[in-house]
Amino acid sequence: MRKTFRQPHALAALVVAILMGQLSGCATTSAQTSPTEYAAALPEAEGNSEHTAQPQHVETDVIDERYTDVWEKIQHARTIDVHDDAEVRKQRNFFDDKQKFMTQVTLRAEPFLYYIVSQLEARNMPLELALLPIVESGYNPLAQANGPAGLWQMIPATGRNFGLTINSAYDGRKDALASTDAVLDYLQHLHDTLGNDWINAVAGYNSGELVIKAAIDRNKAKGKPTDFWSLNIPARQVQTVPKWLAFIQIIRAPSHYNLKVMPIANRPFLERLPAPNGVELSQIANAAGLTKAEFKTYNPGYRQSVIPSKGKYQIALPIENIGQYQENQHQLSAQKRYDSQSYIVKSGDSLGTIAAKFDISVKELKQANNLNSDRIKIGQELTLLTPMSSEDNTSTETPKQSKAQTTYQAAKAKTSSKTADKPTAKASTYKVKSGDSLDKIARKNKVKLADLMKWNQLNAKSIIKPGQELKLSE
């Protein structure tokens, strides 16, 4: 079984420092595979090609047999036109000969790169976008920089608005596969909104779409082109862009920059399965023949040691471990399971009073929330894990309904049958409910997310609140 992705926390901090502060040095990781040397010449200017959005979240098992290495496939994409720009040259020069960093990036990217590239292909988006996590996080799904987090460094508001679940037990931004689905939705939205220009889209992802839209509007008013290179946006406002463009050139001809890129097999590495609610991560790892650390490598979105008992979640496992997991899956039902709920700290609360209120120990409360001290703040969200009853602890299937639940659902069904034949007019507005996101509202009301944002003058960082009324049409 392949064992990849070894990364101590100190190394993760160094990588972020390199990208953000231009510091040198990364921990050495020995290569176990002979590097791939590409024979490509230096990048030449090429025209952008138009792309049409394809159905989203497409799962594809089709493997392009022309390439055995995913990096090679990205190298030959040649969709993004990289100009000979001073800032791009500066970034190329900085990363020139940073072999330790490139090797570590490749090891981190191995479980996820095929999925990202296959999703880009399915959506007809530039494969070069798969290089963006190199400059955002060093391909570290656990990277955290104040608000932004994960491979793609999304902020919470943007993540929620594009369908990611973020709570005290799980952060979808750190789930490498789920966050990729959300980010590609977002980048497609930015492309369509910002002049159908992919570099504008990455610039908007970095600085905010309103900044780039304002620059586009200024050029339009002056009769000037609106492609990224014509906008003349100060480099300090879009620092990610020259780094990303530099890496496009580096991957196209790594040997020219004194770098060797270890190959990543052009085949699926991970497969997603429904997560067993309430089961400890260590039990799932054991069932799949993985260590807990390996399981966390592939499932970095889980913040606690147990899958939340409510809600639909997924786990990602190496394909070579799926069979073993399925054989042992029946054993999971015998493990201790927990019920999970959130609690917002109020004035006067302490860990002791909260633990007493929910009949759990302070130690259990601290373990569930990774707390190293007894200090908590008003407004802080805590996860409460309480053992489920013995009736609910014997199976991973949905527990039997109580008599009251059955009676209520029967009455509800009867009422629904009386009104089923009555035609209902499509609502023109929607009142935001607790737990809503722009993505959920768009899907629920069968409208495009981009249209919903346009009708309500919102952007990806907009925060919506319960009770807020949104337009569902022009």
Strand bridging mode 314-318 / 270-274: antiparallel
Token duo for residue 245: 């463009």
Measured distance CA(251)–CA(13) in Å, rounded: 24
| Residue written as token pair 């054989």 | 327
Q: Is 211 exposed, middle or buried (CB count within 10 Å of its CB: 0-12, 13-18, 19+)? A: middle
Structure token pair of residue 312: 């639909």
d(CA 149, CA 164): 12
Our answer to whether residue 136 is catalytic in this structure is yes
Q: Which of 44, 148, 138 is closest to 95 using CA atoms?
A: 138
Exposure of 139 in the CB half-sphere (CA atoms within 13 A): 23
Catalytic-role residue among 136, 209, 271, 280? 136
- Contact call for residues 411 and 370 (beta carbons, < 8 A): no
Question: Per-residue DSSP letters for 216-284?
Answer: HHHHHHTT---SHHHH---GGG-THHHHHHHHHHHHHSGGGGT--B---BSS--EEEEE--TT-BHHHH
69, β-bridge pairs = 265
Residue 387 main-chain phi, psi, to 5 deg = -60, 135
Q: How far is residue 440's CA from residue 447's CA, in Å, rounded to a whole number?
A: 10
Active site residues: 136
